[in-house]
Amino acid sequence: MRFHSRPFLAVYASLAMTLICQLCPTAKAQSAELAATPPMGWNSWNHFAEKVTDADVRAAADAMVSSGMRDAGYIYVNVDDSWEAQRDAQGNIHSNSKFPDMKALGDYVHSKGLKFGIYSSPGPKTCGGYEGSYRHEQQDANTYASWGVDFLKYDLCSYMDIMKLHDPSQDPHQAQVMMQEAYSKMHEALVNTHRPIVYSLCQYGVDSVWEWGPQVGGNMWRTTDDIRDNYGSMALIGFSQAGLEKFAGPGHWNDPDMLEIGNGGMTADQYRTQMSLWAILSAPLLAGNDLSKIDDTTKNILINKEVIAVDQDKRGIQGSRIGPPQIWMKPLSDGSKAVALFNFVTDDEAEPLTLKFKDVGFSGPVHVRDLWAHKDLGVLYDSYTVTVPQGGVVMLRIWQ
């Protein structure tokens, strides 16, 4: 089941872009070291949606270790929507029959050297219609902490109905204020648990969340509506991140949604595009496939350590589009630059694309390494022309 009231948010998306959060003076980011680099891990939603079970999550944790993903940096194992049951007489949230014992599941995940994530909503109901945290924020945060939760995705969902109760024509800022207040409230509840919990805001980017996300304690915030496992959706979301660079940095990241790599709706070239673009964007890398059935092609894409190193670079600069048609560049902490040449054209053709080194700030000879071929291309002068498959990418690291 999905929540269908999002068009309502369009009203708010057009409201003031620069509202400063006045509601959350104590809601400082839970600390930059929690998400010093973009969080990496796995989330149940893209593949399992509401069918996910305790056994699936344990299998994902097992596979994160056996596949080498954990050692490549994928740490969080996140249960998305549909784990929730009702509250008891004391108001404590319980998990449903698919998840018999959340504490035991958290312990299992931790025993593998991984961290445990969960999902809720500031509204009375989640997007799947399960129990949300409305008016139970501190109680839920305490429960999560007692289960060993290390990551919370907090999804606006039915809180939109609460916001709707306030007529925007009477006070256009009211809904924005309420939304920020709701996110701030859960952040304070998480801080009160004294457990470090990465806080992931999910409200589809409305009201320019990147402008106030850090002030309500967000370590990352979704910038768009949901990704789908097809090239059009992925490319639209990924390439539309241009312009948001200045809002990302250590402790607080733009989140263009989770990875679809390995889910079957795109070609390997197109999945390499998602991995490369997300790395250039310093985006969180949350795999969304069935890790227990991961194949070698998927593994080689998700565990390309040279591409992961671009994503996880400690300077935390989000890369930007530098020129036609889709050439993107991210400066790295050692002075080198990651450059991705995307073949974004929609016909079936492989295209020769040319990078002029001066366009990414180099004059004179440069060293170039191809991060998907894992190959040094030697010292090059002026420019590099390479044929890029349709929907695919060539990703380079360049230094002098």
Among 81, 229, 260, 311, binds ligand GAL (CB under 6 A): 81
Taking the least distance from each CB to ligand GAL, the nearer of 279 and 286 is 286
Give least dist CB 307 to ligand GAL, A.
23
Q: Which of 80, 81, 155, 257 is the catalytic position? A: 155
Residues with Cβ within 8 Å of 309's Cβ and at least 6 positions away in sequence, in order, are none
Residue 80 in the binding site for ligand GAL (CB under 6 A) = yes
Taking the least distance from each CB to ligand GAL, the nearer of 207 and 313 is 207
The answer to whether the CB of 123 falls within 8 A of the CB of 134 is yes
Give least dist CB 225 to ligand GAL, A.
7
- At residue 323's C-alpha, the angle toward residues 319 and 329, to 5°, is 25
Q: Please count the residues of this chain forming the interface with ligand GAL, following the rule CB under 6 A.
A: 9
226 has catalytic annotation = yes
Give least dist CB 123 to ligand GAL, A.
11
Taking the least distance from each CB to ligand GAL, the nearer of 129 and 249 is 129
Give least dist CB 361 to ligand GAL, A.
36
155 has catalytic annotation = yes
Give least dist CB 8 to ligand GAL, A.
14
Taking the least distance from each CB to ligand GAL, the nearer of 24 and 127 is 127
Q: Which segment (7-15, 121-129, 335-343, 361-369) binds ligand GAL by CB under 6 A?
A: 121-129
Long-range contacts of 139-146 (CB under 8 A, 24+ apart): 139/91, 139/92, 139/93, 140/93, 140/189, 141/186, 141/189, 141/190, 141/192, 141/193, 141/197, 142/189, 142/193, 143/92, 143/93, 144/118, 144/190, 144/193, 144/197, 145/193, 145/194, 145/195, 145/197, 146/103
Q: Which of 62, 161, 226, 359 is the catalytic position? A: 226
Give least dist CB 179 to ligand GAL, A.
14
E strands, the chain, where?
A: 40-43, 76-78, 84-87, 93-95, 115-120, 151-155, 198-202, 220-222, 253-255, 285-287, 320-323, 327-331, 337-342, 351-356, 366-370, 375-380, 383-388, 393-399
Residue 237 in the binding site for ligand GAL (CB under 6 A) = no
Among 12, 42, 45, 108, binds ligand GAL (CB under 6 A): 45
Residue 226 in the binding site for ligand GAL (CB under 6 A) = yes
Among 118, 163, 202, 286, binds ligand GAL (CB under 6 A): 202
DSSP state for residue 380 in the 8-state scheme = E
Q: Where does residue 173 rank: exposed (0-12), middle (13-18), buried (19+ CB within 10 A)?
A: middle
The amino acid at 378: G
Taking the least distance from each CB to ligand GAL, the nearer of 80 and 290 is 80
The answer to whether the CB of 30 falls within 8 A of the CB of 217 is yes
Taking the least distance from each CB to ligand GAL, the nearer of 257 and 313 is 257
Q: Of the candidates 123, 106, 107, 76, which has an alpha carbon nearest to the alpha carbon of residue 219?
A: 76
Residue 137 in the binding site for ligand GAL (CB under 6 A) = no
The set of catalytic residues is 155, 226
**Chain positions contacting ligand GAL, by CB under 6 A:** 45, 80-81, 126-128, 155, 202, 226
